[in-house]
Amino acid sequence: MTKWTPTHEAPEPLEGPVVATITGGTIVWFVLFLAQLPFYVWYRDHGHLWWLWTCLAGGGLGLIGVWYVRKRDAAIKRHAAAKAALDAERR
């Protein structure tokens, strides 16, 4: 069996509204948690309580994700501004 080697370079990563996407997903997780909360007893009795805690964990991890992508976005913008200032200084 031969080792697979790519014959072309990988494409650049797609950039988009990352902060909005992560925020939207986080909101969805929390809404799902709140929508399931009135059925706590039913979930507990049928052994599906983990559904509720999965939604809460998704919302909590989403908050960490929002913090991370906001910091990342700010760092990218700072880097671009510093690069533009350095390019302007060299001219």
Full-model pTM: 0.77
Which of 13-22, 28-37, 51-60 shows the lowest mean pLDDT across its residues?
13-22
User: Which residues are CB-contacts of 18 (< 8 A; sequence separation ≥ 6)?
Assistant: 69, 72, 73
Higher pLDDT, 83 or 11: 83
CA of residue 59 relative to chain centroid, distance: 11
